[in-house]
Amino acid sequence: GAGASADSGIGTFRGTGGAWSGISGAIALAWGGTPIGWRWTPGLVWSRFVEDFYGPIVAAQPHDGHCALVELQQTMGSSALRFVTMNVDGLHQAAGAQSVAEVHGSVVRFRCMACHDSVDPKL
């Protein structure tokens, strides 16, 4: 659920102090979360993405909750317990989870908009 990765040091989007909370969050979302910001100030938007969003995610490690869910999945079998997550951090998979559906995709894999190839970025 929301905040599942907070114990791994990844901030939530809408919680207190979250990326999209308050006036600064609304401005960040309106600017950096739209094609307008990317088109007019790509360097600024990209640097904020890497420093504020991507950086903490790639530095994070699965916590005990992630590992407990994997243990449960291993006990029940991956066909009996599947994950559906809105998290984009890949921590369920990093903990060993199988059958993970990522509703919002993942920031640990990028897809080329021209050729649609998937790549693992090294930023």
Based on the residue annotation, tell me whether 63 is a catalytic residue of this protein. Answer: no
Contact 101/87 with Cβ under 8 angstroms?
no
Catalytic residue among 63, 66, 92, 104: 104
Contact 60/31 with Cβ under 8 angstroms?
no
Q: What whole-number distance in Å separates Cα of residue 113 and Cα of residue 118?
A: 10
Q: Who contacts 73 (Cβ-Cβ below 8 Å, separation ≥6)?
A: 81, 83, 97, 98, 99
Catalytic residues: 104
